[in-house]
Amino acid sequence: MPNTDQKVPSRLILILAFPGVQIIDVAGPTQVFTTANEEGATPPYDVRVVAFADGPVETASGVGLVATAIPAVETVDTVMVPGGPGVHEVRQDPGFIAALQALLRRAERVCAVCTGAFLLAETGVLDKRTAVTHWRSCERFAREFPSIRVDPAPLFMNDGPIWTTAGVTAGIDLSLELVQRDHDPALAARIARRLVVYMKRPGGQKQYSEPLALQIADASPYRELTQRIVSNPVADWTVERMAGIAGQSLRTFHRRFQAATGATPAEAVEKVRCELARSLLHTTDLGFGQIAAQTGFHSEVGLRRAMIRQFGIGPNEMRKRFA
């Protein structure tokens, strides 16, 4: 008679902690895999936060982590290497890099979150591969590791068994992708709903949103204006109104705004409105007409045309893709 109580082997996930690690790079993936178990993942995940040194690990935010020793097993399903300001100190430690190299040799799948890519690069596993890291560090990454092809755009990507991600919360996106590959989309969707995050943000999506891109643009004369657009995208943002807020003539405003932000005034407003519409499509059951009214497009036709311009797909496909 078969033993129905036989335990299903688990997938061992090791998340490496070190002094100065970014806590969300550890906590985000840990929570995704833990929630997967709560939602019935079979086989389940055995998630451990580990460190090469004994004792508590102080994160970049000052919060301490209790890490365990690296388990003495031949094979590890996944090793995740987080980022954080401490990356640049520990990567100067030959002993740390040697220990990481030994650990990676035992892993079937290797992942770097954010600037954890610098640690993978130091071990040599990214040589002649394509990788991504936080957008603020891509230029430095490419300069210091010329043998790596750096793609600054995607949220996450893989080159063979090695995965790298953009900044911070992209570690959650990657973890959801891994759960989907290990199990199925339905499980990943349940996890996303419980964690109140977008499901299946595609790896090829830009690292940061259009509103954020507008706000961080080197556009000091337009900082107040861009903040107003982001905070109230449904307003009647005519060029005349925007030029008045900026205190410039129409001709000067149009030329200088585009040079500073990379978008015409009308394009900037549309980008912000489309981001809001996308958020409503992902997080609500509002009809397309209601979303159009709440985002300043006034009609479903206007909403659809704008979304196709910005994202290449209309609202119906956008909602289906993220359902």
What's the pLDDT tens digit per position in 212-245?
Answer: 455 444 445 787 787 788 778 888 999 999 999 9
Domain ranges of the chain: 11-195, 210-321
Q: How far apart are CA 176 and CA 138, in angstroms?
A: 24
Q: What percent of the chain has pLDDT over 90?
A: 59
Q: In this structure, are strands 11-16 and 45-50 parallel, antiparallel, or unpaired?
A: parallel
Q: How far apart are CA 89 and CA 19, in angstroms?
A: 9
What mean pLDDT do residues 55-61 have?
Answer: 92
Confidence of residue 102 (pLDDT cuts 50, 70, 90): very high
- Residue 91: what pLDDT? 96
Q: How far apart are CA 178 and CA 221, in angstroms?
A: 43
Confidence of residue 84 (pLDDT cuts 50, 70, 90): very high
- Residue 232: what pLDDT? 83
Residue 56's contacts (CB-CB under 8 Å, 6 or more residues apart) are: 64, 65, 66, 67
Domain 210-321: which topology? Arc Repressor Mutant, subunit A (1.10.10)
Q: How far apart are CA 83 and CA 272, in angstroms?
A: 30
- pLDDT tens digits, residue range 164-194? 998 778 899 899 989 989 998 788 878 887 8
Q: How far apart are CA 161 and CA 112, in angstroms?
A: 11
Looking at 3.40.718.10, 3.40.50.880, 3.40.630.30, 3.40.190.10, the CATH number of the domain 11-195 comes to: 3.40.50.880
Confidence of residue 124 (pLDDT cuts 50, 70, 90): very high
- Residue 218: what pLDDT? 44
Confidence of residue 6 (pLDDT cuts 50, 70, 90): low
Contact criterion met (CB below 8 Å) for 45 and 36: yes
Nearest-10 crossing angle of helices 239-246, 265-283: 110
- Residue 216: what pLDDT? 42
Place of tokens 């009809």: 287
Contact criterion met (CB below 8 Å) for 264 and 272: no
- pLDDT tens digits, residue range 286-313? 899 999 998 899 899 999 999 998 888 8
- Residue 113: what pLDDT? 97
Same CATH fold, 210-321 and 11-195? no
Is the per-residue pLDDT at 1 higher than 50? no
112 vs 262, more confident? 112
Give the pTM: 0.69
H, E, C per residue of the chain = CCCCCCCCCCEEEEEECCCCCCHHHHHHHHHHHHHHHHCCCCCCEEEEEECCCCCCEECCCCCEECCECCCCCCCEEEEEECCCCCHHHHCCCHHHHHHHHHHHCCEEEEEECCCHHHHHHHHCCCCCCEECCCCCCHHHHHHHCCCCEECCCECEEEECCEEEECCCCHHHHHHHHHHHHHCCHHHHHHHHHHHCCCCCCCCCCECCCHHHHHHHCCCHHHHHHHHHHHHCCCCCCCHHHHHHHHCCCHHHHHHHHHHHHCCCHHHHHHHHHHHHHHHHHHHCCCCHHHHHHHCCCCCHHHHHHHHHHHHCCCHHHHHHHCC
What mean pLDDT do residues 254-276 have?
Answer: 87
